[in-house]
Structure 1
Amino acid sequence: MNVKANISSDIKVDYNGPYVMSIGGRLVGANQTFDVYNPATGEVIANAPEATPEQVEEAIAAAKDAQPGWAALSWEERSAYLTAYADALDAHKEEIITLLTTEQGKPRHSMATVEVEYAIYWVREVAKRKLEDEVIEDTPEHIVKVAHTPLGVVGAITPWNFPILLGLWKVAPCLITGNTMVMKPSPYTPLGTLKFGEIAQKVLPAGVLNVISGGNAQGAWITEHKDVNKISFTGSTATGKKVMAASSGTLKRVTLELGGNDPAILMPNTDYKPLIPSLFDAAFGNSGQWCIAIKRLYVHDSIYDQFLKDFVAYASDKVVGDGMDPNTDLGPIQNKMQYGKLLDMFADVKANGCKIALGGEIDVSLPGNFVPITIVDNPPRDSRIVREEPFGPILPLVRWTDLEDVIADANNTDFGLAASVWGPDRDKAIEVANRIEAGTVWVNEIHIHGIDIPFGGHKQSGMGVENGKEGLQEFTNTKTYMFKK
């Protein structure tokens, strides 16, 4: 199948608007809209359409109608479509990067560029993957074969911290496995998703990828709908529980990638100076607004004091500002809701007399949602800053001496998304890593992901996995065939 012959090479997308939804191959607006803000300035930058119940119904119906024909294509044909989609996204990546910084806040020259380029790479690479049938038994009398068949219509609900990456992270495996999708981005960051939905309508068959926008109501309509066979959700644990409850009425399949309170443990005698840039980025990248950020940094007593000085010195040179400024290292907090939560957390740290090594005061007079890089010096282990996920640029450094004690404290959380262990004795570090209750544990590295590497949380950090063969299988039913010869 020569897919490219069916695709217009002239894909015109106006990134200044209007912002429209994609339903059944059509670009549609809505009578009601909602404001989208630039978090660096507090200014309204656009109005996004607020989908009506009828439009959500239309999107789901379009996905349902398109799914049998899409599933009937071969893996190679669907791969060609996805590859063409990656090419179309790549042709518009500079506009997508600018739009991402404008609505999300992350620095354009660094994290926004990385996010968009990585997302496009993800689509291109997932398009090369395939789930092969597995022969369990093949005797002269009998054959047993296991296949993976599409689920049907998938509802995807995506967050505001990495809207492009986590959106396309869901699109690619969903579509390559023969499903169709209705996606709803966060109302805080809908614009980039609406635009990559618009691009998709020029490349993919009508109804294969539908993008609607709105708030909690629209997400609930998708989650509860009888014709949606799976929900793929990334967001907070509290909302994930609501998604799971709403999905129970129709026994939808669910993949939930939720919150984390990720520990990092520095072992004795660690040569930490070369690690400081990685540790800083892992904790403060995206202004701490990611589920796998280091949230608690446990430093052995033998190196704690000097590490604190060196880490603070490194962090002191970083600049918090508008993401469009090339001198900015960290952008603003994306929305006022999260900004308010950080104001409360900072107040709690101060009220409980925790020692602040850097930062600690939020200037509420600034027009944007700016929060300073803040390092808390060895707060009590039962304090909120250690026990809760702040989701912002504030990090507690915790002194430890006893290995059993620090492992127990690292595991003393309802979360279990990711963790890291750092030390000169690789075998010892791996031994510690094996005892950490988390879905991903890195040793002497951090935030390494891959198309073929499964990612998922333990405990209340999620259900199911994304990426890898296991992530593809999450978008399928397992079907066993048995034949008597």
Structure 2
Amino acid sequence: MLHHDTLFIGGDWVAPAGTDTIEVISPHSEEVVGRVPDGTAADMDRAVAAARDAFDNGPWPQMTMAERAAVVGRLAEIYEARQAEMAGIITTEMGSPITFSQLAQAPQPLGMLKYFAGLGATFPVEEERPGLFGPVVVRREPVGVVAAVVPWNVPQFVLMTKLAPALVAGCTVVIKPAPETPLDSYLLAEMINESGIPAGVVNIVAAGREAGEHLISHPGVDKVAFTGSTAAGRRIASICGEQLKRCTLELGGKSAAIILDDCDLPSAMGFLSMASLMNNGQACVAQTRILASRNRYDEVVQAVAEMVTGQQVGDPADPATGIGPLVARRQQERVEGYIRTGIEEGAKPVVGGLDRPYDRGWYVAPTVFAGATNDMRISREEIFGPVLTVIPYEDEADAVRIANDSDYGLSGSVWTADTDHGMDVARRVRTGTYGVNMMHTLDPNTPFGGFKASGLGRELGPEGLAAYLETKSIARLG
């Protein structure tokens, strides 16, 4: 069992203000696998004070961006040497299949560190433009102290979309991991200490909702970067709006995969097994609405059902496992509630249903619904589990209409033999990311974020770095 009794604040391991602890429960065995302090408002105050002092008085914001990028590059080297350890911890604490952890949970954060280190080495901090009365220098400066609030599903990936650009920009950061997945952040803290990042630049306090809201509301925080549910995002947006505090919000999704009639189904199913079911279905970008024309509807339903039944359900530490348990009992009960709702609404589970695969562990049966319409709750609400809904459409215009008939706009895909035509479909679907005959892979060089209730702002790419910079215009005569 991994046991930590301190918090990472101001470059040191410090005793928490309170005595409560967070127990990390294995989703597979339902046994305690870790224990860490449960951060309090006082701990958040101390972390913000350390970050504030490091920003206002420390060397980090005064370094050139290229100098900071070099330090982030050193962090990437340290991370690379320990990424296998990181993958194992994430699988242990939240049940992600080890193959997915080794493919994405650890390597993608490493890729982001490397990308932003490279971007920061050449990013233009100042540029001169002609003004009405003489030259004007447009300068980019760090936004200040950042509160990074991250969820449990891909904890390091989501954290690095915030931490890597914030560090390169010159910000200081207070990280609040989710209480379900605090263990990976302790490994990261060890790496940060080794990298040479100055004390107080990064602070980590695992805590629940109350202490998290205290951090978000703290007057010493200049920007909030949040990934999580749309309901929580609305609450954070209201706090930031009241304080005129900068924020970026990466929220929920209910993405649609459009299967056109000329699609090669076996090829599409090979990709959709990842796009729809990755991380046990606990992914905001998951393609959980499968849109099929009435001409090929039964054929698509059968192909999706075969794809899902081909996934081995079991111990996430087993490399043969394709789908593991959900993160917590409440999540298991929530997803089963949606399966029950789908049945009550008249959809038919052609695979899966309410019979649990195992008596122990927070498993649900991967489920495919047929006979569904886009107005059902299983078609409109983010389930966050291995539940797919196959929805019929009349023609291509109807497919685009259904894809856009959603409160969300995060991701999506189209599957067709004609990629140029697929690009035309992609331009008509209102989402922040999209794939033609593939899942959008969240390339570090391209912006990620959503339309509508899927969030505000963009992460990754140059746009992701710009989100941690304020722009200043300096005019001069002579």
Match of 2:342, SS state, is: helix
Instruction: Answer yes or no: is the 8 Å Cα contact 1:417–1:461 preserved in 2.
Output: yes
The amino acid of 2:433's aligned partner reads T
Instruction: Answer yes or no: is the 8 Å Cα contact 1:269–1:303 preserved in 2.
Output: no
The amino acid of 1:448's aligned partner reads T
Deviates more, 1:453-462 or 1:273-282: 273-282
Which of 89, 92, 117 pairs up with 1:102? 92
Residue 174 of structure 1: aligned partner: 166
Which of 209, 213, 231 pairs up with 1:216? 209
Aligned residues: 471
* 1:193-208 mapped onto 2 (5 Å cutoff): 193-203=185-195, 204-208=197-201
**Cα offsets for 1:332-386 (capped at 9, x unmatched):** 1111222121121011122233211111124286221111221111312211111
Which of 30, 37, 45 pairs up with 1:42? 30
The amino acid of 1:305's aligned partner reads D
Say whether residues 1:91 and 2:84 are aligned partners: no
Residue 9 of structure 1: aligned partner: none
Residue 63 of structure 2: aligned partner: 73
What TM-score results when the alignment is normalised by the length of structure 2?
Answer: 0.94
Instruction: Answer yes or no: is the 8 Å Cα contact 2:90–2:105 preserved in 1.
Output: no
The amino acid of 2:177's aligned partner reads P
Residue 319 of structure 1: aligned partner: 312
Which of 201, 224, 227 pairs up with 1:231? 224
Residue 180 of structure 2: aligned partner: 188
Say whether residues 1:254 and 2:254 are aligned partners: no
> Shift of residue 330 of structure 1?
1.1
Deviates more, 1:179-188 or 1:267-276: 267-276
Instruction: Answer yes or no: is the 8 Å Cα contact 1:21–1:197 preserved in 2.
Output: no
Which of 445, 463, 475 pairs up with 1:470? 463
Instruction: Answer yes or no: is the 8 Å Cα contact 1:27–1:198 preserved in 2.
Output: no
Partners of 1:438 and 1:397 in 2: CA distance: 20
Say whether residues 1:450 and 2:443 are aligned partners: yes
Residue 28 of structure 1: aligned partner: 14
What TM-score results when the alignment is normalised by the length of structure 1?
Answer: 0.93
Instruction: Answer yes or no: is the 8 Å Cα contact 2:357–2:365 preserved in 1.
Output: no
Partners of 2:148 and 2:182 in 1: CA distance: 13
* 1:262-341 mapped onto 2 (5 Å cutoff): 262-341=255-334
Deviates more, 1:189-198 or 1:156-165: 189-198
Instruction: Answer yes or no: is the 8 Å Cα contact 1:301–1:401 preserved in 2.
Output: yes
Partners of 1:213 and 1:351 in 2: CA distance: 39
The amino acid of 1:153's aligned partner reads V
The amino acid of 1:143's aligned partner reads P
1:191 to 1:402, Cα distance in 2 relative to 1, 3 A: same
> Shift of residue 155 of structure 1?
0.2
Match of 1:202, SS state, is: helix
Match of 1:427, SS state, is: helix
Instruction: Answer yes or no: is the 8 Å Cα contact 1:261–1:296 preserved in 2.
Output: yes
Instruction: Answer yes or no: is the 8 Å Cα contact 1:171–1:181 preserved in 2.
Output: yes
Q: Which runs of 5+ in 1 are unaligned?
A: 1-14
> Shift of residue 255 of structure 1?
0.3
Instruction: Answer yes or no: is the 8 Å Cα contact 2:412–2:433 preserved in 1.
Output: yes
Partners of 2:153 and 2:71 in 1: CA distance: 28
**Cα offsets for 1:61-88 (capped at 9, x unmatched):** 1111111421101122211211111222
Deviates more, 1:274-283 or 1:82-91: 82-91
> Shift of residue 258 of structure 1?
0.1
Partners of 1:441 and 1:117 in 2: CA distance: 22
Match of 1:233, SS state, is: strand
1:101 to 1:134, Cα distance in 2 relative to 1, 3 A: same
CA RMSD of aligned residues (A): 1.8
* 1:411-426 mapped onto 2 (5 Å cutoff): 411-426=404-419
> Shift of residue 166 of structure 1?
1.0
Which of 342, 348, 353 pairs up with 1:349? 342
1:139 to 1:482, Cα distance in 2 relative to 1, 3 A: closer
Deviates more, 1:241-250 or 1:208-217: 241-250
Instruction: Answer yes or no: is the 8 Å Cα contact 1:100–1:112 preserved in 2.
Output: no
Identity among equivalent positions (%) equals 33
Instruction: Answer yes or no: is the 8 Å Cα contact 1:194–1:212 preserved in 2.
Output: no
Structure 1 residue runs of 4 or more that deviate by more than 6 Å after TM superposition: none
Q: Which runs of 5+ in 2 are unaligned?
A: none
Partners of 1:107 and 1:364 in 2: CA distance: 16
Instruction: Answer yes or no: is the 8 Å Cα contact 1:63–1:181 preserved in 2.
Output: yes
Which of 109, 112, 125 pairs up with 1:119? 109
Match of 2:406, SS state, is: coil
**Cα offsets for 1:146-193 (capped at 9, x unmatched):** 221111100000001001111122111000000000000111111101
Deviates more, 1:475-484 or 1:129-138: 129-138
Residue 5 of structure 1: aligned partner: none
1:162 to 1:139, Cα distance in 2 relative to 1, 3 A: closer
